[in-house]
Amino acid sequence: MTEPVGPVDSSRIPRFAEPATFARLPRLDRVGRCDGAVVGVPFDSGVSYRSGVRFASAAVREASRLLRPYHPGLDVSLFAAMQVAGAGDIAVNTFAMNEAVEHPAGELSYDGTRPVTIDGDHTIALPLPRALSKRHGSIAVLHFDTHLDAWDTYFGAEYTHGTPFRRAMEKGVLDTEALSHVGTCGSPYGKKDLEEDRRLGFGIVTAGDVLRRGVSEVADALRQRIGDRPLYVSVDIDVLDPAHAPGTGIPEAGGLTSRGLLEILRGLAGANLVGADVVEVAPAYAHAEITSVAASHVPYDLVSLLALGGRL
């Protein structure tokens, strides 16, 4: 098997030089095969408050220039273990988003390539798992978010960033035995929201639970719930407290730390990860690239998990 093509060596060529791809990886069209691809989805027509996440993929790619090829926390040289590439952006038609994202995502993953997407509002958490379910069947989901995002409608609309997981369940995409919200802390509209979510099959681990129980215990419990099922991880950056990620559409006080989020992700080592997203980064609402830097480390850890699992 051909050795993977790695990222540009930042010890030889300065990080500020050359066009940006995620972690300075080779472009998808420059590699013969691909095990994992980092792709942007510039879409924010489903937001209910602050917009601007359509600009996140460029900001996260710029922030990712600092990432290096060895992950000490997981003891893996992720770009040597598998071929990872930057796949640019999916050209989203904002008036037909589900079809515009699902079809190219399906093309990207049809041969086993596992996509990690950056950018977009949480509406994209419907077409991406739906595309992957055509290959893998029903999928377990870990949803990191300060909100539930499983409402039936928002402003009377069925497809918004507050409804993707309800729609995904209705379409038979999700494995109802292995669904979890992690890091919730935003106030819901009523207790019935929590009761309805549990009725749908979601386990709920609040940000307070993570603080009280610790990241290791939470990660172990999540790992047991997932088992060997194909897993999709969806990370809304607003799961982080605004101290760590102010640049997002609906910030809520009391969220996770960036350290806590990354440690929980690392606790998923060995899971059958088939795809992931990192969404709701709105760079205009942050300074000094705070949110983009935090967001760039999330796909880095997710790709590291893919590398630990090897090629499908």
pLDDT category of residue 310 using cuts at 50, 70 and 90: very low
Q: Evaluate if residue 240 carries a pLDDT over 60.
A: yes
Q: Write the pLDDT tens digit of every residue in 113-124.
A: 899 999 789 998
**pLDDT averaged over every residue in the chain:** 91
Pairing type for strands 272-279 and 230-236 reads: parallel
CA distances in angstroms from 118 to 2, 15, 56, 87, 302, listed in the order given: 28, 20, 7, 11, 12
H helices, E strands: number in the chain = 10, 10
| Complete domains list, the chain, with CATH | 22-304 (3.40.800.10)
Q: Evaluate if residue 96 carries a pLDDT over 70.
A: no
Q: Evaluate if residue 30 carries a pLDDT over 70.
A: yes
* Exposed/middle/buried for residue 162 (C-beta within 10 Å: 0-12, 13-18, 19+): buried
* SS3 call for 176: strand
